[in-house]
Amino acid sequence: MTLHLRELPVTPGSSPLGTSHLPDQDIGVDLAPLGYTEREFLVSGTAGEYRHRDGVLERTGERPFTTRVLVRTPAPERFNGVVQAEPLHPDYDSAGTWRMAHGWITATGAAWVGITQDHRSAATLRDDYDPDRYRDVSIPAAGLRWDIVGHILTALRTPGPSVLHDLAERVSHVYLSGWSNTGSFCRVFLQDGFHARHRLRDSAPAVDGYLIGISSGAAGDSGYPPLADGSPSLPHDDPRRVIGPADVPVFEVLSELESETHRCVLRPDGDTPDDRYRLYQVAGTSHHSPLLSSVLTNSAQFRRLGHDVSDWRITEETSDAQLDAVARAAYALLHRWAAAGQPPPHAERFSYAAPDGSVPPGTAEELLRDAYGNVRGGVRTPWVEAPLAAYSPHSTPAPGSCRPSPWAPLGSPELVAGLIGHMTPLPAEQVAALYADRQDYLNRFEAACDRLTAQGLLLEPDAHDLLVAARRRPFPRPSEKGQLP
């Protein structure tokens, strides 16, 4: 497949949707101190269109497309050969992988590539954001997305013009990951054979490993999107919903929210050469991570244009859990497995309240919780191992907030807020029974961090940041009347 590239200018007066940094609003990530450069390309070619018919994958034709690719690269002397690629999310064409892992990407010298793949995003870019900059962007059908991403991934290591410029010849590993909707994209790309179709000239895979984030394989069309408009939904019992053997490592990283519906597609970890698989269910986390809201610029850019972009505020106290900390460790473990053959650790799974098989597939199931209200099992994060609060994966919307985004199938603020985690501080008396004093709490928190870093499930810089935050956290003390002071 021959692709045609055209670079677009990236200047203070002409910036991409989702640009890394808005200095006037102090939103995003300033790339200059990190030695990174941002570029944007229009990429044109032809892609197949696909659908399911009677459970069989069917190619229905081929159509031309022009998409955009956003690229962030280090100085050549810092490039480590790794490309972290992602299909951009239809929610304002946002970048979930960059949001979760930008600190690790830039610290290690990896490149990042974001690919517009959703036909609704193409229309948003062209019609609602910048009609001049994106006038040529065209993805005429939803079913083209799989080949669009596959072709661009293959081109990252194919001789010829490249979005990576002079780094292209030094690429050693390409990873594909996504979060929420784009995590589900990665599941379909892998399970419906697009990973096998898109190969390099030596027949090696174009993708060296996958990370599927906060996507429940059993959650209807959200967990396994139809291949195209008009393509039927995959049945709940279809085996493709369960990650099967592949010739590259595959990780799934789930919060409590996705785990509620994921039970019927659970599978054991795999350690054979043709089935390298890990599942990490992260305790005390939810689908949406409010602490990362200022990383991406997409929503702010739309607000500056006068669009009515809803904020996501809840009535409860916002959770301070950091799923992204475990996610960055998972990216490091995935690369170590793919590049050096070093297997990552196994992790305990969540426990469910109902007997296995007693709840219809895809239905949310209650997770077992301890006496403090926190989930049992999973990756034991320090905020649940040394708790000062009970962590819930669901919340309720603040008045006027949590309106669904234009693309979203979620139909109400209540459903949107249901994706956001909150925390309920433990009563002071319960905290006093748990810890001898503040230092005892900090010691137990640090010990929990140490256990995860020893396993490789938490990176040292993240452990340091978590400890700094713990030291700043107010420590409740009971008053004489048994109330918080």
In three-state secondary structure terms, 40 is strand
In three-state secondary structure terms, 140 is coil
What is the structure's pLDDT at 484?
Answer: 40
User: At CA 378, angle to CA 99 and CA 277, rounded to 5?
Assistant: 70
- CB count, 10 Å around CB of 423? 22
Instruction: Tell me if 96 is assigned to some domain.
Output: yes
User: In sequence order, what are the residues at sequence separation of 6 or more whose Cβ sits closer than 8 angstroms to the Cβ of residue 63?
Assistant: 46, 47, 49, 140, 141, 144
Instruction: Tell me if 271 is assigned to some domain.
Output: no
What is the structure's pLDDT at 362?
Answer: 83
Going by C-alpha positions, the residue among 212, 221, 262, 464 that lies closest to residue 362 is 262
In single-letter form, the type of residue at position 478 comes to P
306 burial type by CB count under 10 A (0-12 exposed, 13-18 middle, 19+ buried): exposed
Please list the ranges in the chain whose pLDDT falls under 70. Answer: 55, 409-410, 478-485
Helix count and strand count (H, E) for the chain: 14, 15
What is the structure's pLDDT at 260?
Answer: 97
Residue with tokens 């989702």: 18
CA distance 214 to 182: 9
Instruction: Tell me if 353 is assigned to some domain.
Output: no
Instruction: Tell me if 32 is assigned to some domain.
Output: yes
CA distance 130 to 67: 14
User: In sequence order, what are the residues at sequence separation of 6 or more whose Cβ sits closer than 8 angstroms to the Cβ of residue 215?
Assistant: 178, 179, 180, 181, 183, 184, 186, 187, 222, 223, 252, 254, 258
What is the structure's pLDDT at 51?
Answer: 79
Phi/psi at 204 (5° precision): -70, 155
Q: Using an 8 Å Cβ cutoff, are 110 and 83 in contact?
A: yes
State CA 152 to chain mean position distance: 20
Going by C-alpha positions, the residue among 211, 219, 223, 218 that lies closest to residue 282 is 211
Phi/psi at 276 (5° precision): -100, 110
DSSP string, 114-140: EE---HHHHHIIIIII-TTTTTT-B--
In three-state secondary structure terms, 337 is helix
205 burial type by CB count under 10 A (0-12 exposed, 13-18 middle, 19+ buried): middle
Instruction: Tell me if 351 is assigned to some domain.
Output: no
Q: In which domain, by residue range, is 159 found?
A: 4-198+219-231
Q: Using an 8 Å Cβ cutoff, are 120 and 90 in contact?
A: yes
Instruction: Tell me if 239 is assigned to some domain.
Output: no
Residue with tokens 């809201």: 293
Q: Provide the H-helix boundaries in 161-294.
A: 181-191, 194-197, 220-223, 256-262
308: left (phi over 0), alpha (psi -120 to 50) or beta: beta
CA distance 2 to 264: 41
What is the structure's pLDDT at 1?
Answer: 74
Instruction: Tell me if 355 is assigned to some domain.
Output: no
What's the pTM value of the predicted model, to 2 decimals? 0.96
Instruction: Tell me if 122 is assigned to some domain.
Output: yes
CA distance 61 to 48: 6
Residue 295: CA atoms inside 13 Å, Cβ hemisphere, count? Answer: 16
In three-state secondary structure terms, 1 is coil
Q: Using an 8 Å Cβ cutoff, are 395 and 421 in contact?
A: yes
CA distance 127 to 321: 37
Counting the structural domains of the chain, the total is 1
Here the tokens at position 341 are 């053959």
Residue with tokens 């640090």: 446
Beta-bridge mates of residue 70: 40, 114
CA distance 37 to 19: 11
Here the tokens at position 194 are 């697009």
CA distance 416 to 428: 31
Beta-bridge mates of residue 211: 177, 251
Cα Rg for the chain, rounded, in angstroms? 22
